[in-house]
Amino acid sequence: MSEAVVPDAMVSPAVGGLYGEKAGGPMLDFSYVGIDAILEQMRRKAMKQGFELNIMVVGQSGLGKSTLMNTLFKSKVSRKSVLATAQEKIPKTVEIKSISHDIEEKGVRMKLTVIDTPGFGDQINNENCWQPIMKFINDQYEAYLQEEININRKKRIPDSRVHCCIYFIPPTGHCLRPLDVEFMRRLSKVVNIVPVIAKADTLTLEERDFFKKKIREELRANGIDVYPQKEFDEDAEDRMINEKIREMIPFAVVGSDQEYQVNGRRLLGRKTKWGTIEVENIAHCEFAYLRDLLIRTHMQNIKDITSSIHYEMYRVRRLNENNTMVAHANGIPEHHLTAHEM
């Protein structure tokens, strides 16, 4: 499937009309049919429809999840900014709080939903703290499935499936904690996980590299496949780009929603007594890479993988379950059923 996000350059006024005369040349090219104009059509349609993106943030309290969301989308989209009573008390169980916003940029509308999970990993006993999250993700798939198998279904099914889960790793500098491994192992099978090192201004550059290497080793050793997953690379070009990304994960990010004046420019950053950390400066932290991955280059890819792979897996599993349940109810043994399906 080709990318639906078309960079502006391609739709420059090289195309005069809808049927594509080549730019600059007064001559008509007889071999030119004009198939590429479909891109323009798709683009227009997409602009009208708008996009949806559902991001879930998971991590211990105090790791800067809400701030990072605000920084990513340069608007106050996080739960803390919206809820007036943003209490900082740690809830006893993991709660799921979902907040939606409509953002617009250059005529493109996006419905962004940020799903927050306060209480994750904060208790003394964190066993099974991932269960509410798994349940939520599966519930969203279920809702979509129900809409899909409806006889009279809507033209555009509202997509509330979680496209991407950003997992915040505390910057200990040593290695992953057992909780991190457990969570990522379970959830990488149902959703795209993007691990990030939170509050990375604690680590010097050497410490950061060491930490990242350690994390990558551990992810490999535990068989955890985070986004971009190796098995879903489509062609060599994809693989090349994704390899470069895979060598950089997890991204060491710093979030900030305050602006400071640095060298005459106003930048987002954090000001300390020994210097100012610029959030968008790639020499300081890797926030820019994360933003590019999530928004500028791979957003559609993330959505595609969610719908075509994770969702499909869920669907297959559910429908099989349904069938076996129906079969048991009717007294038909299972193997008859599967043979019939084939």
Write the single-letter amino acid at 305: I
Q: Which residue's CB is nearer to another protein, number 282 or number 319?
A: 282
Give first-to-last CA distance, the chain, whole Å.
27
Q: Which residue's CB is nearer to another protein, number 218 or number 304?
A: 218
Q: Which residue's CB is nearer to another protein, number 147 or number 182?
A: 182
Structure tokens at 78: 């996080």
Q: Which residue's CB is nearer to another protein, number 210 or number 232?
A: 210
Closest approach of another protein to the CB of residue 203, in Å:
9
Closest approach of another protein to the CB of residue 276, in Å:
6
Site residues, another protein (CB under 8 A): 60-64, 88, 90, 122-127, 170-182, 198-199, 201-202, 204-205, 214, 217-218, 221-222, 270-278, 283-284
Q: Which residue's CB is nearer to another protein, number 115 or number 198?
A: 198
- DSSP assignment of 10-47 equals GGSTT--STT-PPTT-SS--TT---TTHHHHHHHHHHH
Closest approach of another protein to the CB of residue 137, in Å:
20
Collapsed DSSP state (helix, strand, coil) of residue 80 = helix
Closest approach of another protein to the CB of residue 80, in Å:
11
Closest approach of another protein to the CB of residue 202, in Å:
4
Cis bond before residue 333 (omega within 30° of 0): no
Q: How many whole angstroms separate alpha carbon 199 and alpha carbon 169?
A: 9
Q: Which residue's CB is nearer to another protein, number 75 or number 276?
A: 276
Q: How many whole angstroms separate alpha carbon 231 and alpha carbon 239?
A: 10
Q: How many whole angstroms separate alpha carbon 21 and alpha carbon 34?
A: 9
Closest approach of another protein to the CB of residue 291, in Å:
19
Closest approach of another protein to the CB of residue 273, in Å:
6
Q: Which residue's CB is nearer to another protein, number 214 or number 239?
A: 214
Question: Residues 160-183, buried b or exposed e (16+ Cβ, 10 A)?
Answer: bbbbbbbbbbbbeeeebeebbbbb
Q: How many whole angstroms separate alpha carbon 176 and alpha carbon 217?
A: 10
Is the separation of the CB atoms in 92 and 41 below 8 Å?
A: no
Q: How many whole angstroms separate alpha carbon 295 and alpha carbon 108?
A: 13
Closest approach of another protein to the CB of residue 336, in Å:
44
Structure tokens at 240: 């090349």
Q: Which residue's CB is nearer to another protein, number 53 or number 285?
A: 285
